[in-house]
């Protein structure tokens, strides 16, 4: 039912076919014989977008006509949104896959080929950005009114190529063929100030107020992408800001000098949203990143205030219109910016503005690594954002006064809580700002929240215990099961009936009843086998390595980082290799080790770990003694698209970070949801996954977080572990001796030195426990029936890790929003 003509929103394959032809003609302006594959993709995408825009405007109408108290919107502020390709997911969520497939095939086109044409928007580094994408999709599914605010980077995360075993970064020009999903909104644009100075001045009503005279003003223009909920009619909006020059060329004042200055200004303005920074790039104090953060929070908050006022509400009730969630500290400057907007531009008293700000903001922490806690050099921030620094000082002055009242004489505590780090060079501590300016603070897994309270945020926990919550991460089962693993989804539907994708939290558990059923197990293994064959084909085509789909697919896919311990996995491979070399008839369960992941361009050790993996691969894959038993693959350019291919084919999920370092992990959830068994330490969400799937269906190894902590504080000496373990010593000696580097003894020296002398992440201490556990995995894999049962029970236990559950918890514990757009009610 729509009054805009069925031509655009009809859902039969005939109507869709017509719509695609119309877009080919009127949007792409291509005669049929000249249409390229990209034209077909664009026309298909535009047809699907029409359906979504219609739902979007309907959602908006319902929102506006709902009772006033329901006018609350979740505003998810994130410097990253790793959305993944849109077309396939939108088809699943709108229920259009089959009619579009049919429509395309009537036009002589193949849906799979059209899907493969999409270049994914890589506007994120990894878990944090992908989480934001899952949450937007769940909010749309649950019909929670929601906007995701971020930056429209022209270049997302770099593309990774492997040259001679090393990572090489390539620019990600994702917009080059056009982006059919976004709507540019030139009318939604805000100005953002940078540099300059502040002064006191009288405002129009004669009050004395601070005025910020900037050195430069940049404009942010909104680009909106609709995000479809799963069969709910709900749509969330992803609003990304692009930076532009405020004024266009001034031809009146034309003279050569002015003209080129105007061009220079334009280039500088557009630079702000040019490129995404890798989050784990070492070194702080990047001027451009600071500008990016302030730029996007300022645009977003101005936009929220504009919308709030346009609802006819007074500024003092702002927090009734918006619940603002900040995804890590990157948007935490929003706290000072909202204060600035309320005090300087909307003339509220400080206390009133502070009440509104604290009621609006909530902060999610995503890391326990102290080196990953953001801090900005004070002189840099003061020169780029003079007014914001004044406001931060004032927040800090008032806050520390309160703390002094509570803990008189405790100067050390005051120094730790201060928003300004004054232990050496001065820095602004963004996590402290986020804690002080938010009414809620949450960690992303039970252990993580617990450790936050005990360690990095301990002082804040003592001060505001009531602010702390845990909300364990979740992933959307639509992208990570229905879309990526359609055959498994079909098999599950055959047991649970249709509709389980909307109620996965409770529905999946019903699979337990089928876990021992032999016929079901056989069908289950067949689906896995088909996914492995499909991945093997891509590996052959893309990397030229032949892998055996009957072997155990052992998968570790995630950012390359020492704490995630890809090198522990490599030590296991070398250990197996040595067993075979020692005894060529040794009984070894055939395995294919699959790695994928990017290393931050400036993180040398991570890049060396990639080189180690590819070097070990070169030796193992070509050794005739090993043939048919071990293969090692480094799959280049890990991104959402590739992940959707690898995850469904995994038998074993490697979640081997040292306990106490991985905040949650979400790949662990995706892999288990696709029937992989996990080998993992008690870290992040692994602990909860193990509880849900049953201890007997999880391969546990390694030290616990508390044990790891006390081992280190007792003076850990990795060399003792090396000397006391013959197999470990042999493996490390081989790396050192050049066994995997054609005799080059220098290549891996930094890695070996680090392991033997520091080993911050306890690789050597966990080695034997890991090897023993892997032997259990190998034995278990030989019993196909048992393995199938365990795999089914893993999927059955994954209901908790749906992002729908996580979003419900945010709604109940933090946002206190009852606002749900229900088309049946209005």
Residue number, 523 or 670, with CB nearest to ligand 26V = 670
Active-site entry in 366, 448, 453, 631: 366
Residue number, 327 or 589, with CB nearest to ligand 26V = 327
> Are the C-beta atoms of residues 125 and 276 closer than 8 Å to each other?
yes
Report the C-alpha gap between 359 and 141 in whole angstroms. Answer: 26
141 sits in which H/E element: helix 127-141
Q: Residue 277 Cβ, how far from ligand 26V at the closest point, in Å?
A: 10
Report the C-alpha gap between 35 and 30 in whole angstroms. Answer: 6
Q: Residue 492 Cβ, how far from ligand 26V at the closest point, in Å?
A: 25
Q: Residue 646 Cβ, how far from ligand 26V at the closest point, in Å?
A: 18
Residue number, 331 or 386, with CB nearest to ligand 26V = 331
Look up 193 and say whether it is catalytic. Answer: no
Residue number, 279 or 589, with CB nearest to ligand 26V = 279
Residue number, 651 or 662, with CB nearest to ligand 26V = 662
Q: Residue 366 Cβ, how far from ligand 26V at the closest point, in Å?
A: 4
Residue 120: φ, ψ to 5°: -75, 145
3-state secondary structure 332-372: CHHHHHHHHHHHHHCCCCHHHHHHHHHHHEEEECCCCCHHH
Q: Residue 139 Cβ, how far from ligand 26V at the closest point, in Å?
A: 16
Q: Residue 80 Cβ, how far from ligand 26V at the closest point, in Å?
A: 8
> Are the C-beta atoms of residues 279 and 259 closer than 8 Å to each other?
no
In terms of phi and psi (left: phi > 0; alpha: psi -120 to 50; beta: otherwise), the region of 34 is alpha
Q: Which two tokens stand for residue 787?
A: 């393995």
Look up 614 and say whether it is catalytic. Answer: no
Report the C-alpha gap between 564 and 202 in whole angstroms. Answer: 56
Which among 488, 553, 612 is positioned nearest to 781, based on CA atoms?
553
Report the C-alpha gap between 229 and 187 in whole angstroms. Answer: 27
Beta-sheet strands, E only, within 565-704: 591-596, 630-634, 652-655, 677-680, 699-700
Q: Which two tokens stand for residue 94?
A: 């709108």
> Are the C-beta atoms of residues 233 and 143 closer than 8 Å to each other?
yes
Q: Which residues bind ligand 26V (CB under 6 A)?
A: 126-128, 131, 279-280, 282, 328, 366-367, 369, 371-372, 444, 473, 662-666, 684
Residue number, 554 or 662, with CB nearest to ligand 26V = 662
Q: Which two tokens stand for residue 199?
A: 């002064």
Maximum Cα interatomic distance, the chain, rounded to a whole number of Å: 91
Residue number, 685 or 728, with CB nearest to ligand 26V = 685
470 sits in which H/E element: strand 468-470
Q: Residue 825 Cβ, how far from ligand 26V at the closest point, in Å?
A: 34
Q: Residue 539, class by beta-carbon neighbours within 10 Å (0-12 exposed, 13-18 middle, 19+ buried)?
A: buried
Residue number, 132 or 304, with CB nearest to ligand 26V = 132
Residue number, 468 or 781, with CB nearest to ligand 26V = 468
Helices 566-582 and 763-782 pack at an angle, to 10 degrees, of 60
Q: What is the dihedral of CA 464, 469, 473, 476, to 10 degrees?
A: -120
> Are the C-beta atoms of residues 218 and 256 closer than 8 Å to each other?
no
Please report, in angstroms and rounded to a whole number, the separation of the first and last CA atoms in the chain.
Answer: 16
> Are the C-beta atoms of residues 116 and 204 closer than 8 Å to each other?
no
Query: Residue number with the shortest CB distance to ligand 26V?
Result: 127
What is the total residue count of the chain?
A: 826
Q: Which residues pair with 191 in a beta bridge?
A: 219
Active-site entry in 564, 607, 631, 690: 564
Q: Residue 329 Cβ, how far from ligand 26V at the closest point, in Å?
A: 9
Q: The sheet that has 552-557: what strands, in order across it?
A: 630-634, 591-596, 552-557, 652-655, 677-680, 699-700
Look up 666 and say whether it is catalytic. Answer: yes
Residue number, 265 or 281, with CB nearest to ligand 26V = 281
Report the C-alpha gap between 525 and 669 in whole angstroms. Answer: 20
Look up 670 and say whether it is catalytic. Answer: yes
Alpha helices in 423-517 (DSSP H): 430-437, 446-454, 458-463, 477, 486-496, 504-507
Active-site entry in 472, 589, 666, 678: 666
Active-site entry in 559, 565, 631, 805: 559
Q: Residue 259 Cβ, how far from ligand 26V at the closest point, in Å?
A: 42
Q: Residue 365 Cβ, how far from ligand 26V at the closest point, in Å?
A: 9
Residue number, 337 or 374, with CB nearest to ligand 26V = 374
Q: Residue 662 Cβ, how far from ligand 26V at the closest point, in Å?
A: 5
Beta-sheet strands, E only, within 164-300: 166-170, 183-194, 197-202, 208-213, 216-228, 235-245
Residue number, 448 or 629, with CB nearest to ligand 26V = 448
Report the C-alpha gap between 211 and 470 in whole angstroms. Answer: 40
> Are the C-beta atoms of residues 336 and 392 closer than 8 Å to each other?
yes
55 sits in which H/E element: helix 37-65
Which among 122, 186, 187 is positioned nearest to 150, based on CA atoms?
122
> Are the C-beta atoms of residues 554 and 590 closer than 8 Å to each other?
no
Active-site entry in 448, 558, 598, 629: 558
Report the C-alpha gap between 780 and 671 in whole angstroms. Answer: 18
Report the C-alpha gap between 413 and 427 in whole angstroms. Answer: 17
Angle at 783 between CA 780 and CA 787, to 5 degrees: 65
Residue number, 282 or 513, with CB nearest to ligand 26V = 282
Half-sphere exposure of 254 (CA within 13 A, CB side): 4
Q: Which residues pair with 167 in a beta bridge?
A: 162
Q: Residue 400 Cβ, how far from ligand 26V at the closest point, in Å?
A: 27
Q: Residue 603 Cβ, how far from ligand 26V at the closest point, in Å?
A: 8
Look up 558 and say whether it is catalytic. Answer: yes
Look up 346 and say whether it is catalytic. Answer: no
- The catalytic site residues sit at 366, 558-559, 564, 666, 670
């Amino acid at each position: 039912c729509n009054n805009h003509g069925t031509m655009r929103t009809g859902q039969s394959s005939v109507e869709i076919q017509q719509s695609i032809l119309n877009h080919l003609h009127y949007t792409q302006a291509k005669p049929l014989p000249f249409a390229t594959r990209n034209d077909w993709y664009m026309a298909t995408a535009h047809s699907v977008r029409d359906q979504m825009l219609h739902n979007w405007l309907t959602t908006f109408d319902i929102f506006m006509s709902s009772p006033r108290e329901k006018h609350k919107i979740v505003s998810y502020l994130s410097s990253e949104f790793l959305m993944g390709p849109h077309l396939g997911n939108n088809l699943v969520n709108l229920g259009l896959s089959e009619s579009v497939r049919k429509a395309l095939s009537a036009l002589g086109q193949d849906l799979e080929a059209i899907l493969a044409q999409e270049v994914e928007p890589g506007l994120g580094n990894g878990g944090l950005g992908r989480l934001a994408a899952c949450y937007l999709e769940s909010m749309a599914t649950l019909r929670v009114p929601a906007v995701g605010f971020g930056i429209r980077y022209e270049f997302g995360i770099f593309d990774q190529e492997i040259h001679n075993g090393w990572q090489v970064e390539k620019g990600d020009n994702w917009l080059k063929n056009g982006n059919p999903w976004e709507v540019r909104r030139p009318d939604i644009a805000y100005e953002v100030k940078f540099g300059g100075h502040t002064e006191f001045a009288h405002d129009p009503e004669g009050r004395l107020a601070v005025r910020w005279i900037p050195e430069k003003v940049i404009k942010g223009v909104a680009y909106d992408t609709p995000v479809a909920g799963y069969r709910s009619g709900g749509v969330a909006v992803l609003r990304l800001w692009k930076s532009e020059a405020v004024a266009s060329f001034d031809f009146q004042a034309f003279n050569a000098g002015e003209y080129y200055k105007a061009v220079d200004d334009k280039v500088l303005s557009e630079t702000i949203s040019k490129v995404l920074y890798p989050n784990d790039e070492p070194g702080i104090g990047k001027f451009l990143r600071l500008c990016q953060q302030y730029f996007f929070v300022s645009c977003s908050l101005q936009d929220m205030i504009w919308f709030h006022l346009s609802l006819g509400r007074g500024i003092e009730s702002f927090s009734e219109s918006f619940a603002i969630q900040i995804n890590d500290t990157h948007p935490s400057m929003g706290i000072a910016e909202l204060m600035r907007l309320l005090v300087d531009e909307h003339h509220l008293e400080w206390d009133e503005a502070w009440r509104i700000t604290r009621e609006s903001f909530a902060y999610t922490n995503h890391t326990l690594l102290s080196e990953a806690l953001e801090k900005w050099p004070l002189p840099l921030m003061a020169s780029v954002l003079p007014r914001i620094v004044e406001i931060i000082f004032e927040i800090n002055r008032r806050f520390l006064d309160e703390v002094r009242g509570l803990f008189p004489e405790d100067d050390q505590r005051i120094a730790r809580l201060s928003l300004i780090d004054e232990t050496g060079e001065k820095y602004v501590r963004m996590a402290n700002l986020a804690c002080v300016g938010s009414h809620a603070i949450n960690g992303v897994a039970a252990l993580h929240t617990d450790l936050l309270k005990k360690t990095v945020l301990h002082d804040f926990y003592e001060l505001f215990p009531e602010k702390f919550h845990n909300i364990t991460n979740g992933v959307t089962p639509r992208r990570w099961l229905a879309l990526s693993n359609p055959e498994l989804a079909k098999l599950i539907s055959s047991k649970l009936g249709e509709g389980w994708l909307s109620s996965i939290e409770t529905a999946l558990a019903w699979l337990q009843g089928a876990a021992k059923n032999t016929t079901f197990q056989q069908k289950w293994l067949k689906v896995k086998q088909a996914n492995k064959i499909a991945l093997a084909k891509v590996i052959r085509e893309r990397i030229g390595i032949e892998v055996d789909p009957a072997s155990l697919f052992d998968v570790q896919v995630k950012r390359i980082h020492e704490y995630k311990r890809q090198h522990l996995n490599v030590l296991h491979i070398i250990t197996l290799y040595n067993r075979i070399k020692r005894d060529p008839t040794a009984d070894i369960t055939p395995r294919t080790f699959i790695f994928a992941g990017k290393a931050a361009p400036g993180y040398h050790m991570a890049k060396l770990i990639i080189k180690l993996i590819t070097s070990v691969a070169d030796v193992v894959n070509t050794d005739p003694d090993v043939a048919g038993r071990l293969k090692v693959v480094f799959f280049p350019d890990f991104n959402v698209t590739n992940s959707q291919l690898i995850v469904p084919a995994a038998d074993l999920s490697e979640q081997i970070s040292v306990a106490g370092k991985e905040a949650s992990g979400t790949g662990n959830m995706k892999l288990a949801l696709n029937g992989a068994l996990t080998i993992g330490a008690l870290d992040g969400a692994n602990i909860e996954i193990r509880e849900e799937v049953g201890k007997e269906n999880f391969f546990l190894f390694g030290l616990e977080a508390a044990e790891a902590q006390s081992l280190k504080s007792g003076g850990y000496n990795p060399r003792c572990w090396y000397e006391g373990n013959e197999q470990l010593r042999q493996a490390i000696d081989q790396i050192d001796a050049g066994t995997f580097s054609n005799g080059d003894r220098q290549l891996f020296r930094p890695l070996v030195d680090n392991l033997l002398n520091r080993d911050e992440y306890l690789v050597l201490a966990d080695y034997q426990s890991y090897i023993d556990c892997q032997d259990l995995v190998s034995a278990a894999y030989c019993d196909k029936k048992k393995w199938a049962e365990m795999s089914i029970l893993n999927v059955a236990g994954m209901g908790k890790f749906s992002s729908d559950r996580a979003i419900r918890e945010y709604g109940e514990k933090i946002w206190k929003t009852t606002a749900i757009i229900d088309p049946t009610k209005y």
